[in-house]
């Protein structure tokens, strides 16, 4: 994907919005169950939501041309298929990768994205306006967009190691810009915060938190049953934020024998901060517990952390 793809994607989102498109993306398990009922797409939600193959005549010429110009129109035998999906939230539209997200550079969006958005919408109004917000591992850009909408900022930087994610995030920001305050947007290909410059007074993050043998960028959180990346990003945020700076983290923690080890590690990494930490959902991705490397884990909890530097 390139800048031409980004522009075509932005126009595609506008065309879908004009047609009244809306779709809430469920878990992969639910998605698989639903599409087992239908083999071919019959409407826009089937094509851009459920990722079903479609006959060429099912999609109108404008949308076909935009999908083709973006490089996301593929062939599956006699049918066509879109390599992107579009999810909606509160009137906003988000491009992300089609189901199933098997590629190493897939851009994920799902129930965790909605929980992350709700977490930010709950916590951000309690904070004073920020000057420079950084979204680490920005993915589709949902965190940055929601933050700009809820809190406002002179500058927002979206950082991601995956260039494909940044292309989609640029299109999503372009489509959302009419609903957002005047903001300078920057997009940086970066491993964590390594390539992010300037003073920062707010960092948000929704890192991958599953130990993924396939090492997919959107999914693999590394060691600690997937918690290592969350801890590393917390350490980076702690090093870059000044007094009064805030770090908002939505992630998952593997609970072993009733103990939240990630919580303890985060408190140590953020020792110079006032920290609030809570479970948002007590049991997510339960199917992972069937794996041998999760044999000592009793549940995975979705958690939210707000840390303000003293």
* Bridge pairing between strands 299-309 and 241-256: antiparallel
Could you read off the pLDDT of 296-305 as tens digits, one per residue?
999 999 999 9
Residue 100 pLDDT level (bands cut at 50, 70, 90): very high
Helix residue ranges, H only, 44-110: 44-48, 61-70
- CB 224: neighbour CB atoms within 10 A? 18
Which domains does the chain possess? 3-97 (no CATH), 111-309 (3.40.50.150)
Q: Please report, in angstroms and rounded to a whole number, the separation of the first and last CA atoms in the chain.
A: 42
Could you read off the pLDDT of 144-203 as tens digits, one per residue?
999 998 887 889 999 999 999 999 999 999 999 888 877 899 999 999 999 999 999 999
The helix (H) or strand (E) run that includes residue 86 is strand 84-89
The answer for residues whose C-beta is within 8 angstroms of residue 12's C-beta and 6 or more apart is: 63, 66, 67, 70, 86, 95, 171
CA atoms within 13 A on the CB side of 288: 25
C-beta separation of 134 from 203 below 8 A: yes
* β-pair partners for 136: 159, 205
Distances (CA, A) of 164 to 7, 104, 252, 289, 297: 14, 11, 24, 30, 33
**3-state DSSP percent of the chain in helix, strand and coil, to 5:** 40, 30, 35
Of all residues in the chain, the percent with pLDDT exceeding 70 is: 99
Could you read off the pLDDT of 105-127 as tens digits, one per residue?
999 999 999 999 999 999 998 88
Buried b (16+ CB within 10 A) or exposed e, 63-95: bbbbbebbbbbeeeeebbbbbbbbbbbeebbbb
pTM of the model: 0.94
Mean of per-residue pLDDT scores for the chain: 94
Of all residues in the chain, the percent with pLDDT exceeding 90 is: 86
Q: What is the structure's pLDDT at 67?
A: 96
């Amino acid at each position: 994907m390139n800048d031409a793809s980004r522009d075509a994607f932005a126009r595609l989102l506008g065309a879908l919005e004009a047609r009244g498109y809306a779709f809430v993306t469920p878990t992969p398990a639910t998605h698989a169950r639903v599409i087992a009922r239908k083999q071919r797409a019959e409407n826009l939600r089937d094509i851009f939501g459920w990722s079903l193959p479609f006959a060429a005549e099912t999609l109108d010429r404008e949308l076909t041309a935009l999908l083709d110009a973006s490089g996301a129109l593929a062939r599956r035998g006699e049918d066509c298929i879109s390599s992107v999906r579009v999810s909606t939230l509160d009137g906003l539209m988000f491009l992300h990768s089609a189901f199933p997200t098997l590629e190493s550079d897939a851009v994920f969006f799902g129930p965790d994205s909605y929980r992350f958005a709700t977490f930010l919408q709950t916590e951000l109004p309690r904070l004073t306006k920020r000057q420079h917000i950084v979204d680490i591992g920005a993915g589709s850009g949902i965190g940055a967009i929601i933050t700009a909408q809820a809190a406002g900022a002179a500058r927002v930087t979206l950082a991601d190691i995956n260039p494909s994610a940044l292309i989609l995030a640029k299109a999503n920001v372009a489509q959302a810009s009419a609903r957002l305050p005047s903001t300078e947007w920057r997009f940086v290909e970066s491993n964590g915060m390594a390539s992010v410059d300037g003073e920062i007074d707010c960092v948000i993050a929704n890192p991958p938190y599953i130990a993924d043998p396939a090492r997919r960028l959107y999914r693999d959180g590394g060691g600690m049953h997937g918690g290592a990346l969350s801890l590393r990003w917390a350490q980076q945020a702690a090093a870059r934020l000044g007094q009064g700076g805030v770090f908002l983290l939505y992630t998952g923690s593997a609970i072993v024998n009733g103990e939240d080890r990630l919580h303890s590690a985060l408190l140590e990494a953020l020792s110079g901060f006032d920290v609030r930490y809570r479970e948002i959902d007590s049991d997510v991705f339960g199917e992972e517990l069937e794996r041998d490397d999760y044999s000592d884990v009793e549940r995975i909890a979705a958690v939210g952390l707000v840390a303000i530097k003293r």
